[in-house]
Amino acid sequence: MVKRVLVTGSSRGIGKAVALKLASSGYDIAVHCRGGREAAEQVKDEIQAMGREAVVLQFDVADRQAAKDIIEADMEANGVYFGVVCNAGITRDNAFPAMTDDEWDSVIHTNLDGLYNVLKPIIMPLVRARKGGRIVTMSSISGLAGNRGQANYSATKAAITGVTKTLALELGKRGITVNCVAPGVIETDMIDDVFEKEIKAMIPLRRFGKAEEVANLVDFLVSDGAAYITRQVISVNGGML
Ligand code: NDP
């Protein structure tokens, strides 16, 4: 039976590249978006054109009930996931003294609560399926090193590494690996290139990364070849750290 993987935030950017790469490796995919339904449907069409199954799930990861209801309905209709890539995330940057309550709260609710809201309904069915599994979370160089203007974001991205390591400990004996990918600066909608020159100067490889270069690592972590890798935080950052 073909293994299914849910990729949150796969309507565009890194998540889209991950969904397409995993589909090309032979997985069926649950594509996911919040508002970008049309883009998500296009990703679904591309996956189906590769001969793989795909569905689109649409919910705000910060909405616990919606996440539970929609994920449970999808698992009921199409089967339990073998893997989940928790990729959906946002930034709301501001220097800490100027940061608004809403900027703080929305990033915590989306990036951190969103991880809990997605994983909670998935993990027990994954354990009960007794077939092992793969969980990949998405941190950031900002979570490892901090970054000016990103106190909210870096808090969530550091927390995600902690959740990852704890779940790896809890789920290891079930053959479920849990790893975290920490990208540097990747060319997507999230990046504004105001300081492009200055940022590139801090990157030993002297360029931004491509979403596909993050997807290659996620694809490997989901593969059988990565069965003995768990509890790791792996960077894709051109040598920035
Ligand atoms: P994009 O902004 O390009 O895409 C974000 C994706 O997440 C979209 O699919 C979006 O859906 C979805 N999403 C955002 N908020 C929500 C929400 N509340 N509920 C459900 N889905 C949501 O981001 P990137 O591809 O750049 O980033 C992907 C991940 O990688 C993030 O976790 C980010 O923190 C991390 N990362 C990115 C880096 C970069 O340089 N780009 C660097 C380090 C880490 P929709 O289209 O419907 O809005």
For ligand 1, the distance from its centroid to the CA atom of residue 51, given in whole angstroms, is 26
pLDDT confidence of residue 195: 82
153 is catalytic: yes
| Three-state DSSP state, 16 | helix
Q: What is the CA radius of gyration of the chain?
A: 17
Please indicate whether residue 70, judged by its CB atom, sits closer than 6 Å to ligand 1: no
Q: Among the atoms of ligand 1, which is closest to the Cα of residue 141? A: 43
Q: Among the atoms of ligand 1, which is closest to the Cα of residue 186? A: 40
pLDDT at 1 over 90: no
Atom 34 in ligand 1: residue holding the nearest Cα: 89
Q: Read off the pLDDT band of 42 (50, 70, 90).
A: very high
Decide if 148 contacts 130 (C-beta within 8 A). Answer: no
pLDDT confidence of residue 193: 72
Q: For the purposes of burial, counting CB atoms within 10 Å of the CB of 111, is it exposed (0-12), middle (13-18) or buried (19 or more)?
A: buried
For ligand 1, the distance from its centroid to the CA atom of residue 13, given in whole angstroms, is 7
pLDDT confidence of residue 194: 74
- Name, in order, each residue with C-beta under 8 angstroms of 219's C-beta and a sequence gap of 6 or more: 18, 21, 22, 25
Please indicate whether residue 112, judged by its CB atom, sits closer than 6 Å to ligand 1: no
Mean pLDDT over residues 159-181, rounded?
99
Q: Among the atoms of ligand 1, which is closest to the Cα of residue 142? A: 43
pLDDT confidence of residue 149: 97
Please indicate whether residue 110, judged by its CB atom, sits closer than 6 Å to ligand 1: yes
